[in-house]
Chain A
Amino acid sequence: MSDWSKVTRPIPVPDEWTKPFWDAAKRGVLELQRCQNCGDFQHPPYATCVNCISTDLKFEPVEGGGTIYAYTIMYHTGDQRFAGAVPYASIIVEMDKAPGAFLPGNLLGVPYAEAKVGRRVEVLFETLNDDITLPQFRLAQTTSTA
């Protein structure tokens, strides 16, 4: 299993587009940007809806699980801050209720080799400091598929 205990992660800096995402994460809620015109979710946040170009965008809670859309196992130790966790799984998750929105994360709590395309995952939250909490992922604890 990857040892994250010695990793110092770069701290995200929220901006005017992304602040609601990080504010929600701090409350332990996953909120993603949703177009109020066509209903599509998208991530990362953008100035316009990438589907219909509407600028009427709001952040809405996204509940439930997701699947691993893609992943990579990092072996390179060029960045010393992450070297202690190598090899580790970086994954891209597509939430059931927000198709098309791709969330990067790490697969926590299981050996990195458990990362496979299509595996079920759920969100958990990792507190980085007083201001920033990271959405992260672990394998789904239940067997339900949305």
Chain B
Amino acid sequence: MWDNRCKIAVSGVGFSKVTRSAETPLAAHALQAVQAAVADSGLEMSDIDGLSTYPELPATGHAEVDGVSIVSVNCMMAMLKLPDLSWHMQVGSVNIGGAVQQAVNALLAGVCKYVVVWRAMHNPQGTYQNLPGSHATGATQFTGPYGFGGPGQGMAVAYTRWLEKNNQNREKMATLAVTQRRHTQNNPDAYFYGTPLTREDYLSSRMVAHPFCLFDCDIPVQGAAAIVLTTADRAKDLKPAPAYIAGYGQRLHFEVAGRIGSLSSYMEGGSSSSKLTWERSGFTPKDVDVAQIYDGFSASVIYGLESYGFCKEGEALDFIQDGRMELDGELPMNTFGGSLGTGRIHGLWHIIEGALQASGRAGPRQVKDANVSFVGASAPIVTGTTFIFVGDPY
């Protein structure tokens, strides 16, 4: 087990308003989320001495403009002018989970006391994922000419491979979409709060990129989420019940850019990340009380459940049936609605829900007696990170 098991905790969470289009600049969303997280922790903003984020704009063919379409560490520093700032970090390889893990490392190193981590996501005007323009360079020279690279296609190819190799049926995914949308109705911060979804809605919705229909894809939104992390001894003195980090991992596999469709790359990414998390935390999948599995595209849940070891390869769509992912099910899952319910804020919301469930702070969606709370914070390929939070650090 990890020497630093349960030495760092999440002690505050916050959200901005989530809107479909960019009504206010993204920096305002990020600031609102950060202020809410600090207020939730009971700290003053001036107590914050560490900043960390992953600022990437995943939409292709759109400009990254700081404060408008991304919110970098520099942008946040300029807004907050923190008097005691002593550490900051912007990661580039493993999405927002990497920014959280760097914050953990900085706190363990003792170079700061209270870190705020945010993820701000912009919804640009027009098509979210654009194919290359008149010419295709780099990795896109082998994909763009074939009309590859539009919404969901990169994930869709591996999903068809999985479905047909395992003789499975995409209609089973309706259970995920419908259950998560029901979970969403317990999450007032989510984009689809107040909007139900039926199995018939799912099965009759328009296709985007087969096997993905509209409700397999998280809706692009403008919004931000934030968390405050601190050391376990400091967390005990703060207002919220701490969610201790028992272990974390990041994917140790990388696929050459432009090599799309490889199902094994998802599995290797997820298993390499979760192996570290299981070993460091001392837990196994059987110990998990509640799980948040990244679902930006629905098929990510399949790769997550299988590569993290919750079920065998080829069985994930059967695994989620029969009420297993309900709040009182065998493995309550994506209890905040997932990205399919909140809108596309990437994995920080999964991390936040994992922490809230561990610390008993999930309100109407709280899983009874939950302690061991697992998070797969992004698609297992390329950006995969995993975490385990506990409320009771045994």
Contacts and interface: CB of A to CB of B under 8 A. Distances in A.
Interface of A: 7, 9-15, 18, 42-44, 46, 50, 69-76, 78-79, 81-82, 85, 87-88, 90, 92, 102-106, 116-118, 128, 134
A105 B136 contact: no
Nearest to B206: A75
Contact of A12 (B141, B160, B207): B141
B145 interface: yes
B158 interface: yes
B260 A85 contact: no
A117 to B, nearest CB: 4
A43 B142 contact: yes
B262 interface: yes
Given A43-B142, A70-B158, A70-B261, A12 B131 contact: no
Contacts of B282: none
A134 B147 CA distance: 13
Nearest to B61: A79
B130 A78 contact: yes
B150 interface: yes
Contact of B147 (A11, A50, A82): A82
Given A72-B152, A90-B147, 17 more contacts: A7-B147, A12-B142, A15-B137, A43-B259, A44-B256, A72-B157, A75-B207, A75-B209, A76-B151, A76-B208, A78-B129, A82-B131, A90-B153, A104-B143, A104-B146, A117-B165, A134-B146
B314 interface: no
- 7 shortest A-B CB distances, which residue pairs? A78-B127, A92-B261, A73-B210, A72-B156, A12-B141, A70-B161, A117-B164
B161 A128 contact: no
B139 interface: yes
A10 B134 contact: yes
Given A14-B141, A70-B157, A102-B260, A75 B147 contact: no
Query: A7, A10, A43, A117: which has the most chain B beta carbons within 10 Å?
Result: A10
5 contacts: A12-B135, A70-B161, A72-B160, A78-B127, A117-B161
Contacts of B127: 78-79
A79 to B, nearest CB: 5
Contacts of B207: 73, 75, 87
> How large, as a class, is the contact surface on chain B?
35 or more
A9 B128 CA distance: 19
A81 B150 CA distance: 12
Nearest to B210: A73
Contacts of B263: 70
Given A43-B259, A90-B153, A74 B143 contact: no
B240 interface: no
Contacts of A88: 147
Contact of A81 (B131, B138, B165, B258): B131
Contacts of B259: 43-44, 102
Contacts of B145: 9-12, 128, 134
B364 interface: no
B142 A44 contact: yes
Contact of A46 (B140, B143, B161, B256): B256
A42 B129 CA distance: 27
Contacts of B206: 75
B309 interface: no
Given A79-B131, A92-B260, A116-B164, A71 B151 contact: no
Interface in B242-287: 256-263
Interface in B193-209: 206-209
Interface string B155-189: 01111110011000000000000000000000000
Contacts of B159: 72
Query: A13, A44, A128: which has the most chain B beta carbons within 10 Å?
Result: A44
A44 B136 CA distance: 14
Query: A13, A18, A75, A106: which has the most chain B beta carbons within 10 Å?
Result: A75
Query: A70, A75, A105: which has the most chain B beta carbons within 10 Å?
Result: A70
Contacts of A104: 142-143, 146, 148, 260-261
B144 interface: yes
A121 to B, nearest CB: 13
Contact of B136 (A13, A50, A76): A13
B83 interface: no
Nearest to B211: A72
Contacts of A44: 139, 142, 256-259
A105 B145 CA distance: 8
Contacts of A79: 127, 130-131, 147, 150
A70 B129 contact: no
A9 B143 CA distance: 10
A43 B159 CA distance: 20
A69 B161 contact: yes
Query: A46, A74, A128: which has the most chain B beta carbons within 10 Å?
Result: A74
Contacts of A46: 256
